[in-house]
Amino acid sequence: MKKHIIASLFASSLLLPFAANAADYVIDTKGAHASIQFSVSHLGYSFVVGRFNDFSGDFSYDANKLSEGKVNVTIDTTSVDSNHAERDKHLRGADFLNTNKYPEASFTSTSIESKGDDKFVINGDFTFNGVTKPLSIDAVAIGEGDDPWGGYRAGFTGTTSFKMKDFDVKMDLGPASANVELSLVVEGVKK
């Protein structure tokens, strides 16, 4: 009897890590159900807004075990789109995104903290313009469930900001234009 109890405990301890894992998702960029948008004050008079058209990523998520989650995103910085061809050419240049030298930016999570009511903070390392620094994203879980095509989806929004000079961006348009605001919409399809 004692051997049977020990064997049962050992077997359940082997299965426990697999049961505790968060589900893995791929970000649905093919269906355009995800976006990365930016906003920067233009000299304190207006805003330049745009997006990155090409990015990819994945995440692990379980609403009951947020701390086990992970996020990885890679952004093709050459895909910057502010709806103005000449400005986009300047943004890709050495003054801003420096895409010839650094054609990608990335975010890799290091921890996720619950704030209650489907809100959480994703902490991670953001690599942009060849510089890696910590960045936190305020996120909200929008919903999750079955889709009409036999898959399972989970969706979120997020916001964050960073100072351009912290990432060695050369162009300085003054204090009103120092920060980049990012707005994220992420919908993932369970793998």
Residue 20 has pLDDT above 70, yes or no: no
| Lookup result for tokens 């050369």 | 170
Cα three-residue angle 156-72-77, rounded to 5 degrees: 95
7 CB contacts (<8 Å, ≥6 apart)?
none
Residue 10 covered by a domain: no
Give kind and range of the element (H or E) at residue 162. strand 152-163
pLDDT in tens, 128-154: 999 999 999 999 999 999 999 999 999
User: What is the average pLDDT across 94-110?
Assistant: 97
The per-residue pLDDT for 22 is 83
CA gap 71, 123 in Å, rounded = 10
Residue 27 covered by a domain: yes
Residue 12 covered by a domain: no
Residue 17 phi, psi (nearest 5): -60, -35
Residue 11 covered by a domain: no
Range of the domain at 29: 22-190
Total number of domains in the chain: 1
Residue 7 covered by a domain: no
Residue 7 banded pLDDT, cuts 50, 70, 90: very low
Can you name the residues that pair with 46 across neighbouring β-strands? 42
The per-residue pLDDT for 171 is 87
Residue 56 covered by a domain: yes
Q: How many residues does this entry show for the chain?
A: 191
Residue 4 covered by a domain: no
User: What is the average pLDDT across 17-32?
Assistant: 78
pLDDT in tens, 30-76: 889 999 999 999 999 999 999 999 999 999 999 999 999 999 999 99
The per-residue pLDDT for 138 is 98
CA gap 39, 75 in Å, rounded = 16
Residue 5 has pLDDT above 80, yes or no: no
Sign, CA torsion 87/90/96/97: positive
Q: How far are the Cα atoms of 19, 22, 78, 143, 188 from residue 151, in angstroms, in the given order?
A: 20, 16, 31, 14, 10
User: What is the average pLDDT across 76-80?
Assistant: 98
Give kind and range of the element (H or E) at residue 156. strand 152-163
Coil, strand or helix at 181? strand
Residue 41 covered by a domain: yes
CA gap 106, 170 in Å, rounded = 20
Q: How far are the Cα atoms of 106, 125, 134, 135, 137 from residue 109, in angstroms, in the given order?
A: 10, 6, 9, 9, 10
The per-residue pLDDT for 1 is 44
pLDDT in tens, 164-185: 999 999 888 888 889 999 999 9
Alpha helices in the chain (DSSP H): 2-20, 85-92
Residue 11 has pLDDT above 60, yes or no: no
- The domain that holds 120 is classified in CATH as 2.40.128.110
